Amino acid sequence: MGLTEFLIHYFTLIISQLGYWGVGLLMTLESMVAPVPSEAVMPFAGFLWFDHKFTFWGLAFSSTLGSIIGSLISYYVGAFGGRPLVKKFGKYLLLNEHHLDQTQRFFAKYGDKTIFISRFIPVIRHLISLPAGVGRMNLAKFSLYTVIGAGIWNSFLAYLGYYLGSRWEEIRKYSEILDIVIIVLIVGTIVVFFFKKESR
């Protein structure tokens, strides 16, 4: 059994045993720096909706509540950890003290849009709350855009799981392709930025 299959096995076990509490717990971890992709959680929850064990509104509420709790924890870790946190642990999260000022200015100008859009981007949504806290983004805006973005994304994945029924795991295959495409685009953007900077 590979790592992905191993994780999905335990994610489904947690949801089966704990119900909505399990969904909320996993989505809390998903919104923090934890290897819990929503693509491996919400489609199975959607299948249980298809199987009449869950309801749509129950899933939407529990998953979004978990997302905002996890995001707020990461936000406050960034807000209260500040520079010392970035200096000590930032390298493990692709952050560093040198770019802290840029991060703060970025979130002051684009924070609301970034938080909303990031909920639809694999990997990035796990990390985005930390720099938002470091940059001291307005908490009300942060919470609002997190709830809206997470609510839409979680509900979409749950609906796909409901639509596919017992074939809910097929969603993971397509999400892996999407992950690769996004990573290639990000790397490509960094390379273009680097060469433009060097050519000046």
Work out the percent of the chain whose per-residue pLDDT is above 70.
Answer: 63
Query: pLDDT by residue (tens digit) across 68-105?
Result: 999 999 899 888 876 677 667 666 655 556 656 665 66
Contact 98, 193 (CB under 8 A): no
Q: Look at the pTM and tell me if it is higher than 0.85.
A: no
What are the CA-CA distances from residue 90 to residues 70, 79, 93, 131 (Å)? 19, 13, 5, 10
What are the CA-CA distances from residue 133 to residues 75, 82, 125, 168 (Å)? 4, 8, 14, 35
Distance CA 11, CA 23 (A): 9
Query: pLDDT by residue (tens digit) across 138-191?
Result: 899 899 999 999 999 999 989 888 887 766 566 555 555 555 555 555 555 555
